[in-house]
Structure 1
Amino acid sequence: MRSRRKKSGRSIKKPLNLSKTVLEYVRGKRYTPSTLSELSQQLNIPSAHTHIFKQTLDDLVEKGEIVLNQTKYRSPISNQLKTGTINVLPKGFGFVRVDKGADVFIPRPHLKGAVDGDTVEVEILAEASPKGPEGKVVAILKRSRTHLAGTILRKIKKHYIAYAPLLGVEKPVQVHSKLELEEGDRVICQVKTWKNKEGLVDAEVTRNIGNISDPSIDIQAAVEEFELPDGFTQEAIDEAKQYGKAVLIDPQRKDLTTWEIVTIDPDTAKDFDDAISLTKDPRGHFFLGVHIADVAHYVKPYSHLDKAAYLRCNSTYFPGTCIPMLPEELSNELCSLKPHVPRLTQSVFMEFTPQGDLVNYSIERSCIHSQKRFTYNEALEVLEHRKNSPHASLLHRMVELCGVLKKKRFERGSIDFSLPSSTILVDKKGVPQKIEKVEYDITHQMIEEFMLKANETVATHLSKKGLSLIYRIHEEPSLETFEDFYQFAKMLGFQLPNKPLRKDIQELFEQAKHSPHLSQLSISFIRSMKLAAYSTDNLGHYGLALEHYCHFTSPIRRYTDLMIQRLLFQELPKDFNLEAVATACSEKERVSFRAESSVTILKKLRFAATFYQEDPTRIYEAIVTKIKPFALFFEVPLFDLEGQVHVSNLGNDYFEYRPESMSFKGTRTGKLYQMGQKLSVRLEEVDFVLLQSAWALPDARKKKCNDS
């Protein structure tokens, strides 16, 4: 007896109708998840079309229009599952924000091939864990990109194997090219399929940027890899140019052109967002003026300039250059608070008592005429009496107010710490010439204090007016993640109570200021914190111990600051979605940070490579920054690079890891390696592709060990 297929009332007459029919059927209210065989029966697929049907289903899964969960196909819409954008970190795990404030942690094994920026569907596996909710990707609904940036590793028969940083070393890309390529070529590829028969990403080369050996293309490669907008439309440039080159003083603005106002910025800065004025009366009251470039005057909502700025959300800074948020006609000219020329500003005037209490403030549109462009170094020279200046008294008043505000902030519970930073100087060809340490001296501190106070004042002002705005938020850490920092601090010998308060953490960093452990302690503290972000929900700022805080003081380089400027003096269009702006700015900030970090590490490695080429046997001074059971980690100050040596390469001995003191001790020789210890290390190899360096201890047996 012949069996008959169960009829669903649908039949396939032409293979071309398959995709549409499948989607309509799977999205139907009565559909239940079905296997390939079950779907074939339900849709009356002729056996001759089975292979076409299977390929159609695979294509729909690849596009995210249907989901294959285990062996059953279903619609991607489900009440049991959550949808969001995945943020995949360099270490391989990721986070998906599915609801406001709820980030789902995705371990590496549960990514299911998702890459950074993909829209994914996740299944929640555990509601509570030290990292928050944990889940797995069950479907990739939308790919974030169709192109990949990669570096050619080798040729195999008719194709090439490339390394794409977005995918990591575990996911090589199979690349096809009509042009002959060489090892080290940095290429842009169009993805043909995210998983071919060999399980590899399959792609076609569309452009060869150049070879990894050429430092002049580092920025261009980063722009392609992180899909940063580069260049402006002619319409945006024309809009910027229509304002001309000169600024006319607006009689409706507060005229500050005769005031003693100065700017203090890094040596290489071109976009001067902020300027300062400060006087003091006989009572000891301080009158601080923070004057910010009025970018909102030039960049109108929905204009071509506005679209260009929103596409970027921020400027991205690389060694020797910058990808600006706005055309240089504005960023480096009309909006930049250059000395000796009139500029339109928004000014925050604040009156403080000698104890640092804010007793009065106003926010006004103004016009200034900066009298001096100080660099941080020049200002410091004046303060240390190494250089004369007619503005010396102003600078000394700034130092005085800075101390008062800093003390007040400390009393409030703000946690005061700073990470060491460096500046890489490059020549016109992108070759690094020098790495300079940036000292967080009093000139940096006073500008930071004034900007913090202006941001707080503006946020409080807008909030009290009942306006919706974009806050800069920093949520309180969970007890579980903070426990890691607590234990780390104890291992370094610092004393903390079982339930430390803000003042305990403040005292800890005060003690650590002159300790070799300050850098690692700061890094550990940051890792225990949640990331700062932008939000229309006022969740406060934990690090600054503030209820109201926003970004206002850098509108040339941050779109959020431009939005705050508009909220102060303009009425936004009703359809302007602040929440969408906050989300976009948070995401673009993260992308820019990763692009900047990638280029910075590469330049540091190039700098180290020049020393290696000159003398491969050279010995460098290093400081132990971290010890784990498997390796010793250290910083090489000359290059501002972190290196590591595996425990098996520490010397001709068996080294035992001692967790209570985070140290290694040789069982035979008694040789000790511990945090903060100075080391002599030798550079063994530099890998520009994987952004790694290999190091060895000169006295230990020779064996290369790569960085993590």
Structure 2
Amino acid sequence: MKKDKFKGILHKNPKGFGFVSLLDKKTKDVFISKNDLKDAIDEDIVEIEIISHSAKGPEGKIVKVIKRQRNHFVGVVISKTQENYVLYIPSLGKDKNVVLDAKHKLKIGDKIKVSIKSFKDKNNNVTAIFEMFLAHISDPSKDTFIAIEEYNIRDAFSKEVIDEAKLLKIEDKDLLNREDFTKENIVTIDPDTAKDYDDAISISEEKNKIKLGVHIADVAYFVKPDSNLDIEAEKRGNSTYFPNRSVPMLPKELSSDLCSLKEDEIRLTQSVLMEFDLGGTLLDYKIVRSYIKSKKRFTYKQALKILNSEEEHEYKKELLLMKKLCKLLKKKRFERGSIDFAIDEAKVIVDKNENPLSIEIIQYDITHQMIEEFMLKANETVATHLSKTNKTLIYRIHEEPNIENFQDFYDLAVSLGFHLPLNPTNLDIQKLFIEAKDTQYLQRLSINFIRNLRLAIYSKDNIGHFGLALEYYTHFTSPIRRYSDLIIQRLLFNEKITKNFEDIAKNCSEKERNSFKAESSVNILKKFRLLKSILKKDPKQTFIATVTRVRPFAIVFELDDYYLEGYLHISKIQNDFYEYNEEDLKFIGQRFKNELSFGTKIKVKVLDIDLLFMQIDFKFIKIL
């Protein structure tokens, strides 16, 4: 029987398998196992056959590659023969043998840009053509530059785009037909290094009501449809953030100046004005075009210091009211089944030459929670408002997981003694995290849970948002750095949109995924470099780690102060003979009865850091 064939785009996972997003958009993404990828690579347009269906969704195999979307790659020289250099290209995988003519003067460790002459020559090799020398792997100052090249991040703006941005300004006529909030106590709260202030907050309490204003930079007023600025912003999709710099979606004339809600400057905004009762229920809202003058620019640290201090401050009343409303909104979210994660962030600190200096752990404290809750509520309110007008819009959707996707998390939770039904509801998962709140497992259980969730994406078709337990959700609050938010701003005030919503949603999702890969690649490389510099000073340095996964033949762990993953085959743990207990997901030492399971603290030593293949060789020291 002839099988139906479908066309789609391959999204390859670093672990080897992939998913194909079908061009007809009528079928769920199709899983492709590593053995069924044929010679396809990430972003290829492929033809597939669906070979089976399960609770996880359809599974298929690639029949042929229709079109290569990419032909330019970044690789590193790993060896040299008389005739060729051998390259490792991460996006092609370790199983692809990439060769380059030896006529170029290169050395092992050189990172270069190449195009592909053939993906399979007569010797089964990938043959590359030299295009550009980037840097040697030992040079940290080029890490961001290389990632920008490797992931095709659009960096410099054209003269036409910059000239268009420079012509923009705020004049008296621009304030007409807008509500004037310049007398309001409006503040911004952002990270220390932020320059693109998308959002500002006003808050007050009167007559048993809390009034919250979320004021968002009115980027749509300046960036007109099909202008040079708009075309470039759509191509970028979003801003990309690296340890030493960002690559903005909009030129600095807008992103860091005219659209940034800077202190004591008149700025044009779109304001979501919400009224809540004292229980946190939304009573009424209004969405208007406005202009503001931010009274104070707070960093998260400054706002937290005021909240924790007993001393008086000019804005303490507002900050305390923000804290109060934040807790009410979190309670409301909890009641509807939303799952709250308090996950800290590890930020790599670098010097002007991109040398990594340290890891700063950014606590998910109450000030971060306040701003997050207010942005969530504004996004939900805008999505609900637009949905009621029957307009087509771009939703932020998050599919509900099924038990097969969740099997890892389910097995882990049960092995730790937590009760979880076979088909858990949001409330069941909530209950588990409440039980885990005061245990050593909370942070890493949260991370494991998130890893097992499907990715949130943009779509014109609404299926709700599982993680937030919302029927309607969109992105509106960051139009300086997200193109989806700019589109939503236009929709709110009936501005013309000439583009196809399906195409916009797909492009925004893909650009977001690509930026995440680029950002992660640099962060991991910087952490590798930081470890190398520590070991250079003290080769005997040991590290504390926490076991995060247990597999039949290995343990996976995370270095506690670096948020960096490591791996040890059980044969390398030589202080005992360990047997795997499948039911409890643990190794048990047969001699000393020590256990290695999720959450176990261990001490490890770094034997080697390989920057060519981005691998670290660890030695097990002991269980703590």
Fold conserved between structures, TM > 0.5: yes
Rounded Cα–Cα distance in structure 2 between residues aligned with 1:130 and 1:696: 40
Contact 2:557–2:566 under 8 Å retained in 1: yes
Correspondence 1:90 to 2:14: yes
Which position in structure 2 is the counterpart of 1:216?
A: 141
Q: RMSD of aligned C-alpha atoms?
A: 1.6
Rounded Cα–Cα distance in structure 2 between residues aligned with 1:644 and 1:499: 31
Correspondence 1:645 to 2:568: yes
Contact 1:380–1:443 under 8 Å retained in 2: yes
Correspondence 1:612 to 2:535: yes
TM-score, normalised to structure 2's length? 0.97
Deviations 1:507-552 (A, max 9, x none): 2112222322223322332233221100000111111111110000
Q: Which moved more, 1:438-447 or 1:93-102?
A: 93-102
Rounded Cα–Cα distance in structure 2 between residues aligned with 1:248 and 1:400: 38
Which position in structure 1 is the counterpart of 2:501?
A: 578
What is the percent sequence identity of the aligned residues?
Answer: 50
Deviations 1:333-363 (A, max 9, x none): 0011110111100000000011111111100
Deviations 1:284-332 (A, max 9, x none): x110000000000111110000011001100011112111100000000
Rounded Cα–Cα distance in structure 1 between residues aligned with 2:512 and 2:494: 25
- Classify 1:252/1:245 alpha carbon distance in 2 versus 1 (closer, same or farther; 3 Å): closer
**Which of residues 194, 198, 205 in structure 1 aligns to 2:119?**
194
Which position in structure 2 is the counterpart of 1:281?
A: 206
Give how far 1:248 is off.
7.1
Q: Which moved more, 1:101-110 or 1:460-469?
A: 101-110
Rounded Cα–Cα distance in structure 1 between residues aligned with 2:423 and 2:239: 40
Rounded Cα–Cα distance in structure 2 between residues aligned with 1:277 and 1:588: 32
- Aligned 1:343-422 pairs, distance under 5 A: 343-385=267-309, 388-422=312-346
Corresponding letter in the other structure for 1:584: N
Rounded Cα–Cα distance in structure 2 between residues aligned with 1:484 and 1:624: 15
Contact 2:243–2:350 under 8 Å retained in 1: yes
- Aligned 1:38-53 pairs, distance under 5 A: none
Secondary structure (helix, strand or coil) at the match of 1:480 reads coil
Rounded Cα–Cα distance in structure 1 between residues aligned with 2:295 and 2:537: 47
Which position in structure 2 is the counterpart of 1:73?
A: none
Which position in structure 2 is the counterpart of 1:503?
A: 427
Deviations 1:175-226 (A, max 9, x none): 1254300101000011111111111110111100010100111111111111
Contact 1:459–1:550 under 8 Å retained in 2: yes
Correspondence 1:119 to 2:45: yes
- Aligned 1:427-506 pairs, distance under 5 A: 427-506=351-430
Secondary structure (helix, strand or coil) at the match of 2:29 reads strand
Deviations 1:383-424 (A, max 9, x none): 001665311100000000011111111101111124332111
Contact 2:161–2:229 under 8 Å retained in 1: yes
Give how far 1:632 is off.
1.9
Which position in structure 1 is the counterpart of 2:177?
A: 252
Rounded Cα–Cα distance in structure 2 between residues aligned with 1:677 and 1:334: 51
Which position in structure 2 is the counterpart of 1:234?
A: 159
Rounded Cα–Cα distance in structure 2 between residues aligned with 1:554 and 1:335: 11
Correspondence 1:531 to 2:455: yes
Deviations 1:567-625 (A, max 9, x none): 0113324x421111001101111111111111110011111111111111112222222
Rounded Cα–Cα distance in structure 1 between residues aligned with 2:310 and 2:87: 55
Correspondence 1:106 to 2:32: yes
- Classify 1:186/1:498 alpha carbon distance in 2 versus 1 (closer, same or farther; 3 Å): closer
Correspondence 1:181 to 2:88: no
Contact 2:3–2:49 under 8 Å retained in 1: no
Secondary structure (helix, strand or coil) at the match of 1:697 reads strand
Give how far 1:249 is off.
5.8
Rounded Cα–Cα distance in structure 1 between residues aligned with 2:234 and 2:135: 30
Q: Which moved more, 1:329-338 or 1:505-514?
A: 505-514
Rounded Cα–Cα distance in structure 2 between residues aligned with 1:177 and 1:510: 60
Corresponding letter in the other structure for 2:164: E
Correspondence 1:163 to 2:88: yes
Rounded Cα–Cα distance in structure 2 between residues aligned with 1:247 and 1:595: 42
- Aligned 1:246-325 pairs, distance under 5 A: 250-283=175-208, 285-325=209-249
Rounded Cα–Cα distance in structure 2 between residues aligned with 1:448 and 1:689: 39
Which position in structure 1 is the counterpart of 2:68?
A: 143
Q: Which has the higher contact order (CA 8 A, sep 6+)?
A: 2
Rounded Cα–Cα distance in structure 2 between residues aligned with 1:471 and 1:112: 34
Rounded Cα–Cα distance in structure 2 between residues aligned with 1:628 and 1:595: 28
Which position in structure 1 is the counterpart of 2:601?
A: 678
Contact 1:161–1:174 under 8 Å retained in 2: yes
Secondary structure (helix, strand or coil) at the match of 1:125 reads strand
Contact 1:247–1:342 under 8 Å retained in 2: no
**Which of residues 496, 517, 521 in structure 2 aligns to 1:598?**
521
Rounded Cα–Cα distance in structure 1 between residues aligned with 2:533 and 2:266: 46
Of the two, which has the highest radius of gyration? 1
Corresponding letter in the other structure for 1:278: I
Which runs of 5 or more residues in structure 2 are unaligned? none
- Classify 1:364/1:227 alpha carbon distance in 2 versus 1 (closer, same or farther; 3 Å): same
Secondary structure (helix, strand or coil) at the match of 1:625 reads strand
Contact 2:588–2:596 under 8 Å retained in 1: yes
Rounded Cα–Cα distance in structure 1 between residues aligned with 2:327 and 2:388: 28
Corresponding letter in the other structure for 1:381: K
In the alignment of these two chains, the number of paired residues is 620
Contact 1:335–1:343 under 8 Å retained in 2: yes
Which position in structure 2 is the counterpart of 1:6?
A: none
Secondary structure (helix, strand or coil) at the match of 2:314 reads coil
Secondary structure (helix, strand or coil) at the match of 1:481 reads coil
Secondary structure (helix, strand or coil) at the match of 2:410 reads helix
Which position in structure 2 is the counterpart of 1:51?
A: none
Give how far 1:247 is off.
8.1
Secondary structure (helix, strand or coil) at the match of 1:519 reads helix
Secondary structure (helix, strand or coil) at the match of 2:466 reads coil
Contact 1:622–1:636 under 8 Å retained in 2: yes
